[in-house]
Structure 1
Amino acid sequence: MFSVFNAAELFSLILTLATLITGIIFTLDKFVWQPKRKEVTQEGTSGWVAQARSLFPVLFAILIIRSFIIEPFQIPSGSMQPTLLPGDFIGVEKFAYGLHDPIFHKTLIPTGRPQRGDIAVFIDPSNSKIDLIKRIVGLPGDTVIYQNKTLYIKPACNGQKVCPVTQEVPKQYVGLTNFTELGTQLNEYNEQLGNVNHHILRDPALPEQIYRYYQQPGSPMGEWVVPKGHYFAMGDNRDNSLDSRYWGFMPEPNLVGKATFIWISFTFNHDTDSMWPSWLPNGVRFNRIGSIH
């Protein structure tokens, strides 16, 4: 349980309370108040009770869908470029990693666990007010190494006769992109992470920030052994992502769901000289609507 609710959790709490209150009114009116009214008078349901009764089925449906099936999220930053862009609105499968209660995220029914290469939404372990979206790189028991901007993984030895060895994650250079950081064009690579093929970005002008990495006790800098019940997550925009390399491991209870599709993608005008509000979309990227890779 978290001591402070983030925005999504606060909305879930309000939605749950509103559903509970209208549900109680719905039940009382249907089985207690309405029969009594019919015995005394022919008058109908009072205004506020009628509104509560009509709201309950709608709120209940939203609560079920949002808590256990699909929840919408907006991508606020470029840490997952080129896979996800600021302005993308994604659908997150809430049942991918288990059915959880909508407030405290306690697992009610286990349905699965993250796989290497999944794009997961989770509560930031270093700030419970924030939801993050990153790619799952390391599973429990894995050894993850990131040195010279190169990713290596030694999968966990789960009782195999011959344990896996450390291997570089395969990648191929694609070329320069239109993505920039402080005026520098970023390099794009095609990476094969487990069974998932996806693209990553690297900044040729930015040295590796290894001195800022989280140092796990007993491990050298840039090397981590993922504990049981935890995961190692990284952004696809490798030099511009605050992820497990900096704050450590993501606990399994922090998982919110698996990002599966983009349902709409907006562009925004951040030109300070423009009269158009920066928070208001000025275009739609229809070509981005669909599944996420």
Structure 2
Amino acid sequence: MNFALILFVLVVITGIAWIADKLVFERQRRASARLALAEFDSHQPDLQGRFGSGDIDSTRKRLAEEKLRQPWWLEYSASFFPVILAVFVLRSFVVEPFKIPSGSMIPTLLIGDFILVNKYDYGIRLPVVNKKVIELGEPQRGDVMVFRYPKDPSLDYIKRVIGVPGDEVQYSNKHLTVNGKPADYTPLPDYLDEERLSYSKHFREKLPGGVEHGILNDADRPAFVAGADPDFPFRENCTYNQQGVTCKVPAGHYFVMGDNRDNSLDSRYWGFVPDENIVGKAFVIWMNLGNFGRVGTFK
């Protein structure tokens, strides 16, 4: 379901109703109220003998409110336009919420984390069509990025940027090398995955360039990449062997991987992320219903 498209349609519908109300219907209601009040006031001498001034004033007020009240179809369209517009602008150009559905980014992000994604760090894009119109920045190595899955753009994926355009990324024997510079690895205590009830090897990985983050490796999983798509765009830029894979990142594309290295379908399997598929940069966990201690920024 394309929520951005649904929001856009609602903005258009409620916006038309709001404009029509301001330019046409509100004026008609005010004119009707003036006529009704003028007629009511013309009968006041007769009413004063039968009713007190307080009753006359309250009746006059109720009459004005009745004439000025929006019909139900305007109340449920034009009245909601400012709120829907604010949500649309905020979600399209500032931040967008996502929920982590899988364990591919463990230990950085857990299943059930609700995150916020910065929508402007990588440039201003038109909503729905996702076309960049203003350049503000580019993804950097180590960023946690949300993007539209290249094989099915209706799905949003989240992975870590490992290679930017022009980089040569080598993942061999479960170790990364970028442009000939190996990443540094510091062993950490084994990580217990409570969903799978199993332990994984836990390391702090420092990418060339200085970004540090946690990663997991399963000792019983082989280093080679099994089941890679043979036909993804720029497939010729990648070489697979028994130790892993080496890829040259083409212009306008990015090489991404999950931090849960042996449990992540990423660029090793389906290829590069084109710039036009980028949604934004994840930067904070704003809620986890099962663990409120997760709330906060992450590296």
TM over 0.5: yes
Q: Deviations over 1:89-125 (max 9, x none)?
A: 0011111111112211011222211011000000001
1:81-160 maps to which residues of 2 (within 5 A)?
A: 81-154=106-179
Report the TM-score when normalising by structure 1.
0.83
Tell me if the contact between 1:259 and 1:292 (Cα under 8 Å) persists in the aligned partners: no
**Largest Rg, 1 or 2:** 2
Distance (Å, rounded) in 2 between the aligned partners of 1:185 and 1:90: 25
Distance (Å, rounded) in 1 between the aligned partners of 2:196 and 2:86: 45
- SS in structure 2 opposite 1:220? strand
Distance (Å, rounded) in 2 between the aligned partners of 1:125 and 1:90: 22
Shift of 1:184: 4.2
Report the TM-score when normalising by structure 2.
0.82
Distance 1:145 1:181, change over 3 A: farther
Tell me if the contact between 1:212 and 1:246 (Cα under 8 Å) persists in the aligned partners: yes
Distance (Å, rounded) in 2 between the aligned partners of 1:62 and 1:261: 19
Distance 1:55 1:142, change over 3 A: same
Distance (Å, rounded) in 1 between the aligned partners of 2:92 and 2:271: 27
Given candidates 61, 64, 85, the residue that maps to 2:89 is 64
**Structure 2 match to 1:18:** 10
Q: Deviations over 1:231-271 (max 9, x none)?
A: 000000000000000011000000001000000013xxxxx
Distance 1:168 1:18, change over 3 A: same
Of all paired residues, the percent bearing the same amino acid is 43
Moved more, 212-221 or 167-176: 212-221
Matched residues, number? 257
Given candidates 199, 202, 206, the residue that maps to 2:221 is 206
Q: Which runs of 5+ in 1 are unaligned?
A: 1-6, 155-165, 267-283
What stretches of structure 1 move > 4 A for 4+ residues in a row?
Answer: 180-184
Q: Deviations over 1:203-242 (max 9, x none)?
A: 0011123243456326431110000000000000000000
RMSD: 1.7
Q: Which runs of 5+ in 2 are unaligned?
A: 35-66
Shift of 1:187: 0.4
Distance 1:180 1:109, change over 3 A: same
Q: Deviations over 1:126-171 (max 9, x none)?
A: 12221100000000000001111111110xxxxxxxxxxx011111
Distance 1:258 1:70, change over 3 A: same
Is 1:256 matched with 2:283?
no
Tell me if the contact between 1:90 and 1:261 (Cα under 8 Å) persists in the aligned partners: yes
1:42-53 maps to which residues of 2 (within 5 A)?
A: 42=34, 43-44=67-68, 45-53=70-78
**Structure 1 match to 2:248:** 225
Distance (Å, rounded) in 2 between the aligned partners of 1:18 and 1:63: 9
